[in-house]
Homo-oligomer: A and B are copies of this chain.
Amino acid sequence: MEALPPSLLGLTTYLLSKTGKAARGRLAARLAADGLRMWHMAVLAALADFGPHAQRDLSARLGIDPSDVVKVLDELSAPGFVDRARDPADRRRVTVTITAGGRRELTRLTQEARAIQDELLAPLDTAERDQLHDLLTRILVQQLLSGPGAGG
């Protein structure tokens, strides 16, 4: 087994990048089996957790370009995972709502994500998994604060 360069393995940045890629890759593979990608799951999750959104609000919440939201929703509404309805109060807006089928799909995807997670985190015991989750959460929170809307 050819070893990877210690210069790289010593960098947490590199480890994060590499394990993150593995996580993303596995998740993406499962999503692809349903013809979906990452953003599809994120949009379903946002709609399930926070209720109906105008497309613009989905864009803002998830940090995805408005024109890309359109495309993702096109693909989510085709199999009936979301409903798009013109907002009668402001007819420029389209209110997006998750359907029962969409919720079922999200549940399925979430279960599969947990299965992937169990494989990925196999070398860690429960306490270590919680620890990892906590550390990553704190990093991400800081990212969100210092990143896009910094200084608020």
- Report A's interface with B, CB cutoff 8 A: 1-9, 11-24, 26-27, 38, 41-42, 45-46, 48-50, 57, 60-62, 106, 110, 113-114, 116-117, 120-124, 128-129, 131-133, 135-144, 149, 152
Contact = CB atoms under 8 A, between A and B. Distances in A.
7 contacts: A4-B144, A12-B120, A13-B26, A13-B120, A15-B137, A16-B136, A20-B24
The copy count of this chain in the complex is: 2
A152 to B, nearest CB: 7
A24 B21 contact: yes
B6 A27 contact: no
Given A12-B133, A20-B16, A128-B135, A46 B120 contact: no
